[in-house]
Amino acid sequence: MTDSRNQKAGAIDRKRSSSDRETDSPVKRIKTEPRGDEQPKYNPYLAHWDEGIDNKDGIVSEGDPLKNFKRRESTAKQAFEAESGDNNPFTGQPHSQQYFGILKSRRNLPVHKQRQEFLDLYQKAQILVFVGETGSGKTTQIPQYVVYDELPHLNHKMVACTQPRRVAAMSVAQRVANELDVNLGEEVGYSIRFEDKTGPKTMLKYMTDGMLLREAMHDNNMSRYSCIILDEAHERTLATDILMALLKQITQRRPDLKLIVMSATLDAEKFQRYFFDAPLLAVPGRTFPVEIYYTPEPEKDYVEGAIRTVLQIHAGESEGDILLFLTGEEEIEDTCRKISLEVDELIRETDAGPMTVYPLYGTLPPHQQQRIFDPAPNPLRKGGKPGRKCIVSTNIAETSLTIDGIVYVVDPGFSKQKIYNPRLRVESLLVSAISKASAQQRAGRAGRTKPGKAFRLYTEKAFKEELIEQTYPEILRSNLANTVLELKKLGVEDLVHFDLMDPPAPETMMRALEELNYLACLDDEGELTPLGAMASAFPLDPSLAVMLISSPEFYCSNEMLSITALLSVPQLFVRPAQKRREADEMKNLFQHPEGDHLTMLNVYHAFKGIVNQGQDAKKWCHEHYLSFRHLSSADNVRAQLKRIMETNGLDLVSTDFNDKNYYNNIRRALVTGFFMQVAKRENNKIYRTLKDNNQAVMLHPSTVLKADYDWVVYNEFVLTSKQYIRTVTRISPEWLLELAPVYYDLDSWEGQKDVKLALKAVADKMRRRAAMKGGR
């Protein structure tokens, strides 16, 4: 059986196949001699390893705290004793003083009481669904319980725990490293998109769900792991959904692989049913009751209503911090300012206490995000009313960040959500109503430290009738082109029957397949082309990947690498509300008249120039209204992509900057990836997106394009009450016919007669020119 699996796994190296064999042997032994006193030390396969890496640690020597442990047969009592021992069972080093302090608090967590119950279920079942509300300690404790049972340092298969967010993966890994008294990056590590902090000794690895998916592309059986924990599964990110479907298949191929699906909400039944009626373990959270208030009438303006409610709480309610949920950066900053002003007035007029207001959103620099943990201000005078803090946040404070001290939650009921509709072919962030589950989660945030209150800015009737039960999983709200490419690379042949928990609409897949076909990543039979296989190596959208791969043909791969990196990070240009004019003036310094992509490239080149001269780049960015953080992270992304380019044998070349074709080449390369995102000017300022898209759009006000060029390529379709295209660059229609002849095949063209005529004229001109050249 082992052999056949190894053959299936294909191109895995010798070392990995040997570790494969090792996993099987303990399983077999347990089955045949369940009460055997044999120690793992006597395993002949392990002896090979002991000589290699672990020998000096003396892990299974006489005094080893784990000497009586048997893989997948340990008990909570054994683990309790091992944890209380003087020496660290994994490093052999004596435990630090800090360790015992943390250990005590760990044993107060709700999940600790059920450790034996957990182990019983875990050892019995292959797949386990675990429900623990926030504050139960599941994210930090369960992986450690698994480590003590799996003994990954002996069988050399890791335990993985996925997180939807990079920040969570990093911070939880750090926390667990402290709890286990080991160094981060050694026994406990993390792996996120552009950072891998693991080592040869790593036994517990926190990682983003996207990273595990990437790994699966190279190792279709996930053979490096003996147990995979999918945390925060209730968030239903795209990667988690695909991992669930994938692991559902793999667990059937690999009976030794264990899977734990952890969720914070009580809709676990769906998970159970999906995973062959897996057993469920539920641990109560440590939360206090939260009183919920509704408004009698719907709000006319939810932002105003929110500000009013915050001020009322501040004026009338007892001590405790406030958490207000809003939708986006601009709205949050604006509201913070307004609340601060109003509070100042409140203090002048009545004897209200002080209140500090903090914004919180994903693109906020980390040191500013950290400020939300500052204690609330002191009373203005002795015996005066206590101060409080108010955090105005996007829905990142809903699940991922836990802020203690919050007693009041104000919930207008909206969040920004990604929506993709294949009929419009637009993926956009839209302000949408949240779900009931989301509203409950938000309210729950008020009960972390003591009984709290949640103020919902909508009526109870609206809550019951207008909110959907669960937030739509990301897979239903995304363009699947990238996912389909990944699945193809993962070896999934039958995409139609791929067993997803919430299969998306068939049209979404149809569009994705079409797009990949136009990009030549899939052939007409639906098979992965060499280009597609290469594109899947890039952690990018297929169009960007294809653009990068073809850039050497246009002698501009260095430049395209920069542009791709710049498009992968948030907005470079900072535009503070009070200094818009200055910011725009600075932006004009970098302006390239033919496009935003080229302007961004100019910014990057200038930035690199400053860095290379050893000047203070941070100061320079500040002066030029640029985001140092995003530019640095673009630089980092670029380095990563460059490595992938090199491993794929793609040349890194540039056209001479003084060549008149320097920018033309770049613009042509853009077309190779974005020929499906082209707009033609209709009249005045109105453009129309081409072919099936066929929507009237305007250039986003942030564009540097001054003249109204007839043909442009765009990076993003912005769907608000108006329709915009953002990040736009001028192109020439000849390139469309030349570089994307299948997509712009005029013989099969339907609809948009004027565009067809225009393209036909271009084609005729090209033919004439070719004929003239040929004739000469």
Partner 1 sequence: MASDEDDDYMNMTFGEEPPKPTETSLQRRQRLKREGEIKAHAKSKAVLAAEEREAREAALSKSLLEDAAAKKSKGLAMMAKMGFKKGGTLGSVDNAENARREPIRPEMKDDRGGIGLDSERKRKLDEVVEEELKRVRVDENEFRDRVRREREQARNESLVYAAMKVCERMDEEAQAHAGGAYAEAKVETEAGETAAKKKKKKTLSTRPLKSIPVVWRGLIRRREEAERDRRMKYDLEQSSSTSRLPTYEDDLEEEDDKRAMGKLSTTHAQVEDLDEEDPELDEFNALEAGERLRLLVEYLRKEYLYCFWCKCGYEDDAMEGCPGITEEEHD
Which residues ranging from 454 to 493 are in contact with partner 1 (CB under 8 A)?
457-459, 461-463, 465-467, 472, 476-477, 493
Query: Is 51 a residue that touches partner 1 (CB under 8 A)?
Result: no
CB of 419 to partner 1, least distance (A): 4
- Dist. CA 729–CA 492, nearest whole Å: 37
Q: Under DSSP, is residue 683 helix (H, G, I), strand (E, B) or coil?
A: strand
d(CA 208, CA 531): 26
Residue 526 makes contact with partner 1 by CB under 8 A = yes
Contact status, residue 561 vs residue 638, Cβ threshold 8 Å:
yes
Classify 485 as helix, strand or coil: helix
225 vs 274, beta carbon nearer partner 1 = 274
Nearer to partner 1, 604 or 743 (CB): 743
User: Is residue 517 at the binding interface for partner 1, with CB under 8 A as the rule?
Assistant: yes
Q: How far is the CB of 67 from partner 1 (least distance, A)?
A: 46
Binding residue for partner 1 (CB under 8 A) from 128, 443, 501, 545?
501
**217 lies in the site for partner 1, by CB under 8 A:** no
| Nearest in space to 677 (alpha carbons), one of 636, 755, 729 | 729
Contacts to partner 1 from residues 420-459, by CB under 8 A: 420-424, 426, 428, 430-433, 457-459
- What is the footprint of partner 1 within residues 625-684 (CB under 8 A)? 683-684
Work out which of 359, 504, 539, 733 binds partner 1, going by CB under 8 A: 504
Q: Is 39 in the site for partner 1 (CB under 8 A)?
A: no
Instruction: Select 370 or 720, whichever has its Cβ closest to partner 1.
Output: 720
* DSSP count for the chain of H helices, then E strands: 30, 21
Shortest Cβ 304–partner 1 spacing (Å): 8
Give, in order, the Cα–Cα distances in Å from 768 to each of 418, 733, 749, 755, 758.
47, 16, 22, 20, 15
What one-character DSSP code corresponds to residue 54? I
Supply the minimum distance, in Å, between the C-beta of residue 531 and partner 1: 16
Query: Whole-number minimum distance, CB 761 to partner 1, in Å?
Result: 9
Residues comprising the chain, all counted: 776
Question: Is residue 747 a contact residue for partner 1 (CB under 8 A)?
Answer: no
Told to check if 770 binds partner 1 by CB under 8 A, we report no
495 binds partner 1 (CB under 8 A): yes
- Least separation in angstroms between residue 566's CB and partner 1 is 27
> For the CA atoms of 516, 496, 208, 650, what is the dihedral angle to 10 degrees?
-30
Task: Give the footprint of partner 1 on residues 147-206 (CB under 8 A).
Answer: none
Q: 3-class SS at 718?
A: strand
| Nearer residue to partner 1 within complex by CB, 310 or 560 | 310
Angstrom distance (rounded) from CA 56 to CA 92: 10
Q: Which stretch binds partner 1 (CB under 8 A): 116-124, 186-194, 381-389, 497-505?
A: 497-505
User: What is each CA distance from 305 to 47, 464, 466, 538, in whole angstroms?
Assistant: 68, 20, 19, 45
Q: Is the dihedral of CA 632, 636, 641, 643 positive or negative?
A: positive
# of chain residues touching partner 1 (CB under 8 A): 82
CA distance 544 to 552: 14
The reply on whether position 771 binds partner 1 by CB under 8 A is: yes
Task: Kindly state whether residue 748 participates in binding partner 1, applying the rule CB under 8 A.
Answer: yes
Give yes or no for residue 509 binding partner 1 (CB under 8 A): yes
Contacts of 182 (CB under 8 A, 6+ apart): 88, 90, 91, 188
Q: Residue for token digits 């090792």?
A: 22
- Contact between 494 and partner 1 per CB under 8 A: yes
| CA separation for the pair 458, 108 (Å, rounded) | 38
CB closer to partner 1, 467 vs 572: 467
Closest residue by Cα to residue 623 from 610, 636, 605, 637? 610
Token pair in block for residue 154: 């002996």
Q: Up-side HSE of residue 6: CA atoms within 13 Å toward CB?
A: 16
Min separation Cβ 745 and partner 1, Å = 11
Q: Which of residues 690-709 bind partner 1 (CB under 8 A)?
A: 692, 694-696
Q: Supply 713's token pair.
A: 């390529």
Tell me the C-alpha to C-alpha distance, in Å, between residue 227 and each of 5, 261, 333, 647. 18, 11, 43, 30
From candidates 69, 498, 709, 724, binder to partner 1 by CB under 8 A? 498
> Quick count: other Cβ atoms within 10 Å of Cβ 13?
7
Applying CB under 8 A, which of residues 333, 502, 584, 708 lies at the interface with partner 1? Answer: 502
Could you say which residues in the range 289-348 bind partner 1, by CB under 8 A? 295, 297-305
Q: Binding residue for partner 1 (CB under 8 A) from 721, 747, 773, 774?
A: 721
Find the part of the chain contacting partner 1 (CB under 8 A) among 35-43, 97-105, 217-225, 686-694: 686-694
Candidates 58, 63, 94, 506; binder of partner 1 (CB under 8 A) is: 506
Radius of gyration in angstroms for the set of CA atoms belonging to the chain, rounded to a whole number:
29
Q: Which is nearer to partner 1, 557 or 677 (CB)?
A: 677
Let me know: does 388 contact 315? Beta carbons within 8 Å.
no
Interface residues for partner 1 in 358-417 (CB under 8 A)? 412-414
- The verdict on 268 binding partner 1 (CB under 8 A) reads no
Provide CB contacts within 8 A for 308, sequence distance 6+. Answer: none
Is position 500 an interface residue for partner 1 (rule: CB under 8 A)? yes
Residue 510 interacting with partner 1 (CB under 8 A):
yes
